[in-house]
Structure 1
Amino acid sequence: MDTDQPSAGPQPGPSSATRRARSRVGVTVICLLAGLLFGTSASLAREDPTGAPSDLPELITARDGQVRELTRQAETLGQEVEELRDARASSQTGQVLGAADTIAPAVGLSAVRGPAIAVTLDDAGYTQDTLPEGYSVDDVVVHQQDLQGVINALWAGGAEAIMVQDQRIIATSSVQCVGNTLYLEGRVYSPPYTVTAIGDPEALHAALEADPVVQTYRDWSSAVGLGYQVDDLGETELPAFVGSVRPQHARILQTDDD
């Protein structure tokens, strides 16, 4: 018998609307959980016992304050370093100046005062026509070695300072004679030549008497009339050396090993 009945088959499941509703509920729950998690993290951050900044503006403000404080400390330390450096430099400068003042008289850079003697050397005064027989012009004039002999003898006798003519001389001074004239520190002098020395007069006189070069000059003085005179000057002041104390020339000495 033919009867119209619903065909047999699978029963219909949940509708698509129902599935969408369930999906929305799941998303909502996830969002709520995420919000709760973020809120808890923020609360914990605000309650950080270390006091660390919780956001970028606070971090920038905190770092700016730290930089300012470090800058202030650096400036304070820098000022202290400068003060220490200035104090040290002042102390060293004082020591250097004190040492310079101590050695200045010995090297001729300051005036010296004390008992002095003067040694005067002069040509014999002959002309070509009046020369004694058997003598030449060179025999009757003062030579460079004669002046140097007197100067060396005075140094050996303990002279504290020596002046030739009107110029103070030092260890590097060069006494040169050109013909019958003296060339000293760029200036030219004619005889008589005077060498003045400050020191113990007795020791200076004794040194002149004992020096062989000076003795030879005295012998020629007696023979041909060269001028030689020694005077005690008493308390005398010699000026400071006014030339350069820096070496102007240097020479390399070669040895047999070179």
Structure 2
Amino acid sequence: MALPPTQRSARRSWWRVGVPVVCLLAGLLLAATHGVSDGGEIRRSDAPRLVDLVRETQQSVDRLTAERDQLAQRRDSTHGRSGDAALAAINTRADAMAGEAGLDPVRGPGLTVTLTDAQRDAQGRFPRDASPDDLVVHQQDIQGVLNALWSAGAEAIQMQDQRLVATSAPRCVGNTLLLNGRTYSPPYRITAIGDAAAMQAALAEAPLVQLYKQYVVRFGLGYAEQAHDEIQVVGHADPPRMRYARPMGPLGY
């Protein structure tokens, strides 16, 4: 059935207005996309991921560490044959300061704290209202434990297989830990030399540890403390490098 002339005229008017508007909007969208992407792809399949960058950095650290060890061995063998008295004096002084710098192993009574990501229940499920962030150990959780141990007078602390010194800074990358160029997965094991009872009391009073324990109860994160009559903490393997420190004078100034 043919449309009346007035309706046909209205249809043609709508198309004459609607089509240019749609084209204008499409042009604006394409221009905005070009401006955001700067002429490239917005989501490139070859874009580097953070995990890949961490892996490449760790490989570079391992390679440079091996080169450093080779050079140190050559240096020691060369200076050992020369019998340089000045070098011997420097080495003697360095050996005397190694303990305070955390380069020597330490044995004594202590405490071990273990932090673990949440585990699935018997049905293989997590709590229904849990988000991914609720189920993993975070940097603030590790830092809360470390601060409590130091405040309780810990003489030396080891995390995983590394001794913590003044330049150590644990960092969480996703669900892994980055420490001195090496990555670790949970469980995170922290060992401290000192008065175990005092350290346990400090952990019980630390606000961040208390918050973490609430997540242990609610979402199934892991937390354990174990006191030891005697335990060993390793020495820091890498030579410490200070960028802003300077030697103190005779009176400590």
Task: Give the TM interval when normalised to the shorter protein.
Answer: 0.5 to 0.7
Structure 2 regions of 5+ residues with no counterpart? 1-84, 246-253
2:95 is equivalent to residue 106 of structure 1: no
Contact kept? 2:108, 2:229, Cα under 8 Å: yes
Post-superposition offset of 1:248: 5.7
Contact kept? 1:168, 1:239, Cα under 8 Å: yes
TM-score, length basis structure 1: 0.56
Structure number, greater radius of gyration: 1
Number of residue pairs matched by the alignment = 158
Contact kept? 2:126, 2:219, Cα under 8 Å: no
Contact kept? 1:119, 1:196, Cα under 8 Å: yes
- Give 4+ residue runs of structure 1 displaced > 6 Å after superposition: none
Contact kept? 1:121, 1:142, Cα under 8 Å: yes
Q: Summarize deviations over 1:117-154 as a string: whole Å, max 9, x none.
A: 10000001249x82322220100110111111111110
1:157, 1:126 → 2: CA distance? 34
Matches for 1:1-258 after TM superposition, within 5 Å? 93=89, 97=92, 100-101=94-95, 103-126=97-120, 130-247=125-242
Q: Summarize deviations over 1:189-241 as a string: whole Å, max 9, x none.
A: 11111000000111111111111111111111111111000001221121110
1:170, 1:97 → 2: CA distance? 21
Over 3 Å counting, the alpha-carbon distance change for 1:248 and 1:93 in structure 2 is closer
Post-superposition offset of 1:183: 1.3
Over 3 Å counting, the alpha-carbon distance change for 1:106 and 1:208 in structure 2 is farther
TM-score, length basis structure 2: 0.57
Contact kept? 2:196, 2:228, Cα under 8 Å: no
Contact kept? 1:131, 1:137, Cα under 8 Å: no
Structure 1 regions of 5+ residues with no counterpart? 1-88, 251-258
Contact kept? 1:126, 1:140, Cα under 8 Å: no
Q: Summarize deviations over 1:71-103 as a string: whole Å, max 9, x none.
A: xxxxxxxxxxxxxxxxxx88x949x946x5554
2:168, 2:178 → 1: CA distance? 11
Contact kept? 1:118, 1:230, Cα under 8 Å: yes
RMSD: 2.6
Secondary structure of 2:144's partner?
Answer: helix
Post-superposition offset of 1:109: 1.3
Contact kept? 2:119, 2:126, Cα under 8 Å: no
The residue type equivalent to 2:230 in the other structure is E
Contact kept? 1:106, 1:160, Cα under 8 Å: no
2:189, 2:223 → 1: CA distance? 10
1:244, 1:111 → 2: CA distance? 14
